[in-house]
Amino acid sequence: MSTLLWVIMAVVVIILLAVIGLYNGLIKLKNRTEEAWSDIDVQLKRRYDLIPNLVSAVKAYAQHERQTLNEVVTARNQAISAQQSGDKVKQAEAENMLTGALKSIFALSENYPDLKANENFLELQRELSDTENKIQASRRFYNSNVKDFNTKLQVFPSNIIAGWLKFKPYEFFEIEEEEAKPVKVEF
């Protein structure tokens, strides 16, 4: 065989290996991003399971605060429904609403000293607070993976391979303006 044929074969093999490497890198980042979203779902499930117990503990002390409690339950149900729909954008919006509703219930507890001293309520509050911290960590981990994946989609030469294989960027998990504001509780 001629030297030119060997050079052409070597170039083709190098290009093929580069394409395989880029594809495998994209798949790895895609799977890590989906795993990170799954981690958020696990923590949200824990949150959903804790909320009915928290609402029950508060109901015993705050009978006339039904509206706040109903808002928490409604937000929880909407979040579960959004999670089951599989639409990540709707789920993020519903989770932001639920976070705001939970802030209201903790602010409400400030007006009931007996409730704040109730051991069951305090344990539920600690559990929920721990879960909220884990959700925040999971969101940061997810956003970090989204950043890595989206960057890989945009840089040369992987952007060419990603375009051919129809990879799509992921959306960041962002809080809404309402969630960033402090909760206002009025009596």
DSSP 172: P
> How far is it, in rounded angstroms, from Cα 101 to Cα 50?
14
pLDDT in tens, 152-184: 999 998 888 888 889 999 988 876 655 545 444
Read off the pLDDT of each residue in 45-74 and give the average, rounded to a whole number: 72
94 is a domain residue: yes
13 is a domain residue: no
pTM of the model: 0.61
Helix (H, G, I), strand (E, B) or coil at 56: helix
129 is a domain residue: yes
Read off the pLDDT of each residue in 126-145 and give the average, rounded to a whole number: 87
Measured CA distances, 19 to 15, 33, 94, 152, 157 (Å): 6, 21, 39, 13, 9
pLDDT in tens, 93-128: 888 888 877 777 777 666 666 655 566 667 777 888
16 is a domain residue: no
Q: Domain residues for 115?
A: 26-180
pLDDT in tens, 27-59: 999 999 999 988 888 888 888 887 787 777 666
**Cβ(121)–Cβ(58) below 8 Å:** yes
If one counts the domains in the chain, the total is 1
The closest alpha carbon to 169, from 33, 37, 41, belongs to: 33
> Which is more confident, 145 or 125?
145
5 is a domain residue: no
Read off the pLDDT of each residue in 64-92 and give the average, rounded to a whole number: 78
81 is a domain residue: yes
What does the pLDDT read at residue 183?
A: 40
Structure tokens at 131: 């879960």
89 is a domain residue: yes
What does the pLDDT read at residue 149?
A: 94
**Cβ(153)–Cβ(26) below 8 Å:** yes
9 is a domain residue: no
**Cβ(183)–Cβ(100) below 8 Å:** yes
What does the pLDDT read at residue 11?
A: 93
Q: Residue 150, Cβ neighbours under 10 Å: how many?
A: 18
What does the pLDDT read at residue 184?
A: 45
Read off the pLDDT of each residue in 141-160 and give the average, rounded to a whole number: 92
> How far is it, in rounded angstroms, from Cα 99 to Cα 93?
10
**Cβ(34)–Cβ(149) below 8 Å:** no
Read off the pLDDT of each residue in 63-83 and give the average, rounded to a whole number: 76
